[in-house]
């Protein structure tokens, strides 16, 4: 299999505090990689390093085998066109209508407003939202609707790679499953490569081809859903079952005391 994304020995610190400590990860073309790990374990930072929104202190990021770690602004901009991103907080522009938000990339390419609007409405339907939503502002939508609108924006330019930061957090179970099915559909029908951060194990097991757990700046486990479910690593076992007791809580308690 071809690796679409390769993370090689990436380190990242903020103000002397190590967040990523030698991360190695591969995502095969056309597959879905789910990243799990506790709050503050560096999942979003890793995603931002892959996206080029943060620069690693050392190590490399390869996309399609090409080193993209230290690109010039123009090349970075070009690369970003291959990426769709669903941010943790949806990150819609408050002053724009939903169709303007969804079609932002198309507008930047100089497409006409009527074309942008029609594509935006098409993408809204894909994420299960009615066309009249297109004319509302983000503040007029519920959290779940905003998330779906943000997903419609992420897929608007038909990217080859989509990054999802907690796509189902805060959504009701049915809407969550619509998002899960959409992630699977984008992979199966368009061959999209996906990287998904989630705390939602039901969602992780449904969408992942491969799962990786981050803990204290390192990847402590990588495998298929079955392999992760059958792990004998006590940290992974505790995390995926959401148990209060185990090595992870002990350390948090020690830290607080
Ligand atoms: N730009 C930044 N400057 C300084 N510190 C940062 C920055 N971004 C993240 N951090 C720190 O890096 C650590 C990891 O943050 P990150 O957002 O990656 O966590 P996470 O695993 O995504 O957690 P959550 O599950 O809560 O979203 C945190 O301690 C955070 O404060
Ligand atoms: Mg995060």
pLDDT tens, residue by residue, 56-69:
999 999 999 999 99
Through-space distance between the first and last CA atoms of the chain, rounded to whole angstroms: 48
Residues less than 5 Å from ion ligand 2, measured at CB: 44
Core vs surface per residue 181-208: b (16+ CB within 10 A) or e? ebbeebbeeeebbbbbbbbbbebbbbbb
Q: What is the mean pLDDT of each run of 10 residues along the chain (257 residues)?
A: 92 96 96 94 94 94 94 87 85 94 94 97 92 96 89 92 91 88 90 94 96 95 97 94 84 49
Distance, CA 114 to ligand 2 centroid (Å)?
36
Using one digit for the tens of pLDDT, what is the confidence trace for 183-201? 999 899 889 999 999 999 9
State residue 128's pLDDT score: 86
Rg (CA), the chain: 19
Q: What is the pTM of this model?
A: 0.90
E-only strand ranges, the chain: 3-14, 17-28, 32-36, 58-63, 66-67, 83-86, 161-165, 193-197, 210-215, 218-223
Query: For ligand 1, is residue 47 a contact (CB within 6 Å)?
Result: no
User: Both tokens of residue 128?
Assistant: 């299960």
| 39 CB within 6 A, ligand 1 | yes
Output the CA 115–ligand 2 centroid distance in Å: 34
**Distance from residue 168's CA to the centre of ligand 1 (Å):** 19
Residue 201: which of 30, 37, 72, 26 has the closest Cα?
37
Q: For residue 175, what pLDDT is reported?
A: 85
CA distance 208 to 25: 15
Largest CA distance in the chain: 60
Report pLDDT for 256. 46
Helices 247-256 and 234-241: crossing angle in degrees, nearest 10, is: 90
Burial of 118 (0-12, 13-18, 19+ CB in 10 A): middle
Ligand 1 in contact with 36 (CB < 6 A)? no
Q: What share of the chain is helix, strand, coil (3-state, %, to 5)?
A: 40, 25, 35
3-state secondary structure 136-198: CCHHHCCHHHHHHHHHHHHCCCCCCEEEEECCCCCCCHHHHHHHHHHHHHHHHHHCCEEEEEC
């Amino acid at each position: 299999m071809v690796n679409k994304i390769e993370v090689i020995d990436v380190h990242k610190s903020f103000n002397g505090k190590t967040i990523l400590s030698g991360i190695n990860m591969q995502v095969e073309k056309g597959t879905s990689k789910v990243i799990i790990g506790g709050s503050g374990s560096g999942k979003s930072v890793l995603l931002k390093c892959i996206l080029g929104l943060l620069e690693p202190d050392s190590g490399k990021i390869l996309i399609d085998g090409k080193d993209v770690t230290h690109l010039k602004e123009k090349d970075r901009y070009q690369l970003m066109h291959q990426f769709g991103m669903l941010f943790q907080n949806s990150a819609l522009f408050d002053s724009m209508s939903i169709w303007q938000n969804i079609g932002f990339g198309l507008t930047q390419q100089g497409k006409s407003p009527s074309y942008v609007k029609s594509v935006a409405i098409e993408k809204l339907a894909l994420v299960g939202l009615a066309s009249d939503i297109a004319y509302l502002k983000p503040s007029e939508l519920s959290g779940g609707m905003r998330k779906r609108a943000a997903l419609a924006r992420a897929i608007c330019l038909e990217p080859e790679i989509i990054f999802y930061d907690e796509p189902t957090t805060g959504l009701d179970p049915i809407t969550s499953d619509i998002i899960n099915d959409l992630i699977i559909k984008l992979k199966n029908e368009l061959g999209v490569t996906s990287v998904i951060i989630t705390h939602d194990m039901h969602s992780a097991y449904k969408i992942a081809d491969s799962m990786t757990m981050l803990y204290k700046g390192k990847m402590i486990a990588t495998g298929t859903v079955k392999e992760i479910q059958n792990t004998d690593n006590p940290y992974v076992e505790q995390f995926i079952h959401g148990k209060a007791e185990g090595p992870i809580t002990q350390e948090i308690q020690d830290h607080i005391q």
